[in-house]
């Protein structure tokens, strides 16, 4: 995989453009990564729900939970499926709407300076090896493109929105993930 800096798109990722994206503030570049977990419907893997949500096409009548989140306008830059497939919803040089009300490194408006990566999962299931492989390769590429991003500037959604969010959850293996990344400097 290779990030094309001018377009902000990752060559090799399946592209599914989300409308829930806008421009970063002038002069703002990605500085941190935020790791999330999502499954739609909750606890169900492999379906189209996440793509539908991020593209404002969620079939509200299809599942009771969908009625609860109807009208939600969210996205992420990337989504890593259970089998390791990588989907890109937003160019990394634009702002995806993934962090919500959050604070990171003493700053609010985390979407302004972050890249959001969703893993297909939830708090009740371990993540798959293929997901760690894809996440690690993606992270290494993003660290090359944006050297300010180091293993110490990667956060879980729960870290930047404590009490409001729990993802990526208790089964995410932070030592495994961070240990596969290059040391800073």
The two tokens of residue 69 are 């989140």
What is the rounded distance in angstroms from the CA atom of residue 148 to the CA atom of residue 36?
Answer: 20
CA angle 53, 75, 92 (to 5 degrees): 145
Neighbour-count burial for 113-123, b at 16+ CB within 10 Å, e otherwise: bbbbbbbbbbb
What is the rounded distance in angstroms from the CA atom of residue 6 to the CA atom of residue 102?
Answer: 28
The two tokens of residue 83 are 């089998």
State whether residue 78 is helix, strand or coil: strand
Residues 6+ apart with CB under 8 A from 7: 91, 93
Catalytic residue numbers read 118
């Amino acid at each position: 995989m290779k990030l094309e800096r001018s377009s902000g798109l990752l060559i090799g990722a399946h592209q599914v453009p989300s409308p829930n994206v806008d421009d970063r503030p002038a002069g703002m570049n990605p500085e941190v990564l935020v790791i999330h977990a999502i499954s739609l419907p909750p606890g169900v893997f492999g379906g189209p729900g996440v793509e539908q949500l991020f593209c404002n096409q969620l079939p509200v009548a299809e599942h009771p939970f969908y009625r609860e989140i109807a009208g939600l306008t969210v996205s992420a830059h990337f989504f890593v499926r259970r089998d390791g497939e990588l989907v890109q919803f937003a160019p990394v040089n634009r702002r995806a709407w993934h962090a919500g009300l959050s604070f990171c490194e003493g700053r609010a408006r985390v979407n302004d300076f972050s890249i959001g990566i969703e893993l297909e999962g939830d708090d009740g299931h371990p993540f798959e090896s293929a997901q760690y492989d894809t996440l690690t390769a993606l992270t290494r590429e993003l660290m090359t493109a944006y050297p300010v991003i180091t293993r110490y500037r990667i956060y879980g959604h729960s870290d930047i929105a404590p009490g409001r969010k729990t993802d990526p959850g208790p089964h995410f293996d932070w030592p495994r993930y961070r240990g596969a990344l290059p040391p800073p400097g």
